[in-house]
């Protein structure tokens, strides 16, 4: 009998464990669902279950809240689910059995004071550089050497309905050298570079950096930032024949 | 017997509660051109760490690193001679090459790639599709 009992208890506990385990994952994947579930997201998993049970018991006395079917549960804004890692040994790229990994700086620690962004490293690097929160050296040996900054915006007209692309040389020359891009990636001549988002996506042109180390292509309006001139509707005056 | 079981199950429960979605940082490079073939773990290069301290230009223009993961074909002998990583990782500017495990800290059987890049995502989905598709 005790063996049977223990099996039963273990089975029940397993179900409980699975239930507990699933809760935080569900709330994570549905970041922007419905106002009803927001309270649960903020609460810790244990608390969320408590509120669940409460709501079940209170249903009898309080007016019934509107509940939505799971069809409404979709991350429609496709928000970035990336969260900062606390330890490097759990990030999936570092060997978890290597004890030395604990010495290395974790991104969580480094990014704590830097301005946040929604994608990429979750850090707005341009803002961080301009506000001098980070001061990267532009020479290996001379800490005082300042980069040659060229302030020139290139506007590229886009065929489709997206806003035109503004390429700021300023932000790029603050961290890069001319030879990084010219002439191997971009021919320094107007109209000589045929670009497309497909090329960018495959890691060519802008995609050499953007989408790998610089901010990803999902931040459309960071590049497509100049509104197109609105189409003028010509007024034709009707004349008496 | 029961006590042991319950303790074990409690531990399991804790483990499940603690488990969170873990991902490497955007721009981390895993380098495994020669490492595992020579009996070392692959190298992890964190872009975010280096860009806080140096601008892109220092490595990619002055030191001559290519803008493509794995294209530099870096060998340990080059680093010991003061090329590539060895420009800084010489024991004066940054830790020297005697600290093997600090750089060779990647997961086993990892292929050379940039973490969370668009191209990598495309490749991953393609591989998934290939695996799912019946032959």
B16 and B73 assigned to the same domain: no
Mean pLDDT calculated for residue range B41-68? 94
B52 and B98 assigned to the same domain: yes
Using a cut of 0.80, tell me whether the model's pTM lies above it.
Answer: no
Mean pLDDT calculated for residue range A207-227? 93
- Look at residue A232 in the predicted model and tell me its pLDDT: 60
- Chain A CB within 8 Å of residue B95 CB: no
- Chain A CB within 8 Å of residue B86 CB: no
- Chain A CB within 8 Å of residue B48 CB: yes
Number of domains in chain B: 2
Mean pLDDT calculated for residue range A29-43? 38
- Chain B CB within 8 Å of residue A220 CB: no
**Which residues, 6+ apart, have CB-to-CB distance to B107 below 8 Å?**
A92, A93, A94, A95, A96, B30, B41, B42
Q: Evaluate if residue A54 carries a pLDDT over 60.
A: no
Beta-carbon separation of A121 and B20 below 8 A = no
B46 and B74 assigned to the same domain: yes
What confidence category does residue A187 fall into, taking pLDDT thresholds of 50, 70 and 90?
very high
CA distance A32 to A233: 40
β-bridge mates for residue B31, sequence order: B43
- Look at residue B10 in the predicted model and tell me its pLDDT: 53
B46 and B109 assigned to the same domain: yes
Yes or no: say if B22 and A90 are a contact pair by the CB < 8 Å rule.
Answer: yes
Query: Nearest CA to B100 among B115, B110, B108, B89?
Result: B89
Say if residue B55 is exposed, middle or buried (CB neighbours under 10 Å; 0-12, 13-18, 19+): buried
B122 and B110 assigned to the same domain: no
Percent of residues, chain A, with pLDDT higher than 90: 40
B13 and B28 assigned to the same domain: no
B86 and B103 assigned to the same domain: yes
Mean pLDDT calculated for residue range A4-30? 53
Of B2, B28, B57, the CB nearest to A176: B57
For the stretch A90-134, pLDDT in tens is: 888 899 898 888 889 888 889 989 999 988 888 999 999 999 999
B42 and B91 assigned to the same domain: yes
Q: Evaluate if residue B30 carries a pLDDT over 80.
A: yes
B65 and B79 assigned to the same domain: yes
For residue B88, the domain's CATH number is: 3.90.10.10
B109 and B134 assigned to the same domain: no
Radius of gyration of chain B (CA): 20
* Per-residue burial over B87-125, b = 16 or more CB atoms within 10 Å of its CB, e = otherwise: bbbeeeeeeeeeeeebbbbbbeebebbbbbbbbbeeeee
Yes or no: say if B120 and B30 are a contact pair by the CB < 8 Å rule.
Answer: no
- Chain A CB within 8 Å of residue B14 CB: no
Radius of gyration of chain A (CA): 27
The residue range of the domain holding B95 is 23-115
Q: Which two tokens stand for residue B21?
A: 């979605």
Measured between beta carbons, the chain B residues lying within 8 angstroms of A121 are 25-27, 48
B63 and B124 assigned to the same domain: no
- Helical H runs in chain B? 2-18, 47-53, 56-57, 76-80, 100-103, 118-132
Would the ipTM clear 0.90, i.e. be above it? no
B107 and B125 assigned to the same domain: no
Mean pLDDT calculated for residue range B99-120? 91
């Amino acid at each position: 009998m005790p063996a049977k009992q223990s099996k039963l208890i273990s089975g029940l506990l397993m179900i409980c464990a699975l239930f507990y385990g699933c809760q935080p994952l569900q709330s994570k994947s549905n970041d922007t669902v419905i106002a009803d579930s927001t309270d649960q997201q903020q609460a810790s998993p244990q608390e969320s279950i408590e509120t669940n049970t409460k709501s079940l018991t209170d249903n009898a006395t309080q007016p019934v809240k509107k509940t939505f079917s799971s069809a409404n549960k979709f991350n429609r804004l496709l928000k970035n689910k990336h969260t900062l890692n606390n330890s490097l040994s759990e990030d999936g790229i570092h060997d978890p059995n290597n004890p030395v990994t604990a010495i290395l700086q974790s991104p969580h620690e480094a990014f704590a004071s830097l301005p946040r962004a929604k994608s990429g490293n979750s850090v707005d690097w341009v803002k961080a550089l301009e506000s001098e929160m980070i001061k990267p050296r532009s020479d290996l040996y001379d800490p005082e050497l300042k980069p040659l900054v060229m302030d020139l915006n290139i506007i590229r007209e886009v065929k489709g309905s997206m806003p035109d692309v503004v390429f700021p040389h300023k932000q790029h020359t603050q961290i890069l050298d001319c030879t990084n891009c010219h002439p191997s990636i971009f021919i320094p001549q107007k109209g000589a570079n045929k670009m497309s988002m497909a090329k960018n996506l495959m890691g060519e042109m802008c995609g050499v950096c953007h989408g790998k180390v610089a901010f990803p292509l999902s931040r459309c309006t960071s590049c497509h930032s100049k509104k197109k001139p609105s189409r003028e509707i010509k007024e034709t005056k009707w004349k008496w024949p | 017997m029961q006590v042991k079981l319950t303790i074990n199950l409690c531990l399991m429960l804790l483990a499940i509660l603690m488990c969170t979605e873990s991902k490497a940082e955007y721009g981390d490079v895993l380098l495994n051109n020669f490492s595992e073939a020579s009996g070392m773990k692959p190298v992890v290069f964190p872009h975010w760490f280096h860009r806080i301290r140096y601008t892109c230009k220092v490595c990619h223009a002055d030191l001559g690193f290519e803008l493509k993961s794995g294209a530099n074909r870096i060998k340990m002998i080059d680093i010991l001679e003061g090329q590539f990583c060895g420009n800084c990782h010489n024991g004066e500017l940054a830790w020297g090459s005697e600290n093997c495990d600090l750089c060779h800290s990647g997961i086993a059987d990892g292929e050379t790639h940039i973490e969370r890049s668009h191209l990598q995502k495309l490749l991953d989905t393609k591989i998934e599709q290939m695996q799912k598709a019946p032959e």
